[in-house]
Amino acid sequence: ASADDWRSRSIYQLLTDRFATSDGSSPTCNTGDRKYCGGTWKGIVKKLDYIQNMGFDAVWISPIVANVGNTTYGEAFHGYWTLDINSLNSHFGTEDDLKSLASELHKRNMYLMVDIVVNHMAATSNPPNFSGFTPFNTQNDFHTECFIQASDYDNNQTAVEQCWLGDANLPLADVNTEDDNVVNTWNTWVTNIIKTYSIDGLRIDTVKHVRKDFWPAFAKAAGVYTVGEVLHNETSYVAPYTEVIDAALDYPTWFQLTPAFASTHGNLSALAAAVQSAQSSYKGGEFFAGSFLENHDQPRFQSLTKDLGLVKNAMAWPFIQDGIPILYYGQEQGYTGGNDPDNREALWLSGYEEDKPLVTHVKTLNAARKAAAAANKDFYTSGLKFLSSTPSNLVVSKPPMLALLSNGGSSTSPQWSVPNAGYSANEDLVDVLTCIKITADSNGGVTAKSTQGMPQVLLPASALSKQGNVCPSV
């Protein structure tokens, strides 16, 4: 599927090892142990109703290829420690299991996104035993060993690209992506896996650690939507990567989003500024970017605050903006794990309950996005506008949706007054989060007040009638 096919999608990100077991059992899973807990591709298939019921139509799974065994830092349950790119990680299932995950998704008109690592292979000794890797099995297939230093990130891009991630206990041997044979091997490999497993899109790891001009041919060989991880807080650093692959995960926005809502003293204007910078500097605006509040590398949002007002505002963001929303599994169940590895809890321990407040929140936000798009064919191609932004209040317009956000927290009753919100005179509107009706004034403006610090997501009542599952009785 192309970038255009993906722009209307909504992605559920999961770690295969931590999402669901084949037989539906609930083994203990102590995150601190950094061991495989038993999740599989078959397990995902069994829980597709759970994902689809929340309104997601794409699933991003963790890396699929064979990894190293036990290491100083535990087992490779996350899948990022590649040993052999031509074999699957047998902990997660067989070739047929992965193929049937793809076909079960496709039966539901859902997409499969697979996470891949091109930058490195993982070693359990230093220097690595290069002959143990497949297919890059000589030292010449790798850059000369040197570990990336923290200071390199600011002033030595060559080191970021050609030195190694990891450390002497677990070196991430840096693949020589300057070598023509290596490049050809990667391009052939990616064409093959897309075809073999009917993959619809790729999340590409460590994109900033490979020279930019490696990527266009690789993306072309993939032939599907590619979104890359460029872990950096500035749009000026990330934007050039959106010229060489379809899009980047929107880390620069995330770096503002998190503190903006993590406390009642956050700065929503700084979030707005980051978004505007992304809109003007990413290729094609922000539409193809992956927009997220959590992922497997960062502390969960609810490890920073449990204030439900703040949590619901922050969670709304990825769904009311221009990019492709991504929800990291477990957020909907209220998981609170901090830094890696604590943020990688087993989902089966939650019982997959669907009647929890945040599950409902996610479901409503996904449905609101689809309802907005059904009412306005340009919804996915017109950039949002901030009708106002202060450190504590935001008014976000993406017609026909108007989102009213606040970081006052659950002890406050936020208010918004939007003189010209773009609606028709006296138009009937609905806050989809509460299903409460309000009416636009004679200039199409909106005055609204919520309780307990809650956000509002307004849509015209007429837009809801076209999409039966949002506030059906309004």
Tell me, residue by residue from 422 to 461, as one string, x for binding to ligand ABC by CB under 6 A and - for no binding.
----------------------------------------
**Interface positions, 108-137, toward Ca ion (CB under 5 A):** 119
367 binds ligand ABC (CB under 6 A): no
Distance CA 75, CA 322 (A): 37
340 binds ligand ABC (CB under 6 A): yes
287 binds ligand ABC (CB under 6 A): no
65 binds ligand ABC (CB under 6 A): no
Among residues 205, 246, 322, 427, the one annotated as catalytic is 205
* β-pair type (165-167, 111-116): unpaired
Give me the residues paired with residue 65 across strands. 88
Query: Which of Ca ion, ligand ABC, none does 469 bind, CB closer than 5 to 8 A by kind?
Result: none
224 binds ligand ABC (CB under 6 A): no
Among residues 141, 161, 229, 322, the one annotated as catalytic is 229
Query: Which of ligand ABC, Ca ion, none does 102 bind, CB closer than 5 to 8 A by kind?
Result: none
At its nearest, how many Å lie between Ca ion and the CB of residue 120?
Answer: 7
Interacting residues of 397 by C-beta distance below 8 A, sequence separation 6+: 384, 385, 386, 387, 403, 421, 422
Q: Is 90 exposed, middle or buried (0-12, 13-18, 19+ CB in 10 A)?
A: exposed
User: Are the beta carbons of 319 and 289 closer than 8 angstroms?
Assistant: no
363 binds ligand ABC (CB under 6 A): no
DSSP letter string over 260-323?
HHHSTT--HHHHHHHHHHHHHHSTTTTTTSEEES--TTS--GGGT---HHHHHHHHHHHHHSSS
Distance CA 434, CA 279 (A): 30
Hey, how many other C-beta atoms are within 10 angstroms of the C-beta on 351? 10
237 binds ligand ABC (CB under 6 A): no
User: Are the beta carbons of 115 and 87 closer than 8 angstroms?
Assistant: no
Distance of CA 29 to CAs 57, 73, 342, 348, Å?
28, 16, 11, 9
> Applying CB under 6 A, which part among 124-132, 211-219, 226-234, 404-412 lies near ligand ABC?
226-234
Tell me, residue by residue from 162 to 191, as one string, x for binding to Ca ion by CB under 5 A and - for no binding.
------------x-----------------
Distance CA 327, CA 291 (A): 9
> Applying CB under 5 A, which part among 154-162, 196-204, 389-397, 450-458 lies near Ca ion?
154-162
232 binds ligand ABC (CB under 6 A): yes
229 binds ligand ABC (CB under 6 A): yes
Active site residue 250: no
At its nearest, how many Å lie between ligand ABC and the CB of residue 205?
Answer: 5
Distance of CA 205 to CAs 28, 90, 231, Å?
29, 21, 10
**Interface positions, 200-219, toward Ca ion (CB under 5 A):** 209
Active site residue 431: no
Query: Which of Ca ion, ligand ABC, none does 78 bind, CB closer than 5 to 8 A by kind?
Result: ligand ABC
Work out which of 50, 80, 142, 261 binds ligand ABC, going by CB under 6 A.
80
300 binds ligand ABC (CB under 6 A): no
Residues tagged active-site:
205, 229
**Residue numbers of the site for ligand ABC (CB under 6 A)?**
73, 78, 80, 117, 153, 166, 170, 205-206, 229, 231-233, 296-297, 340
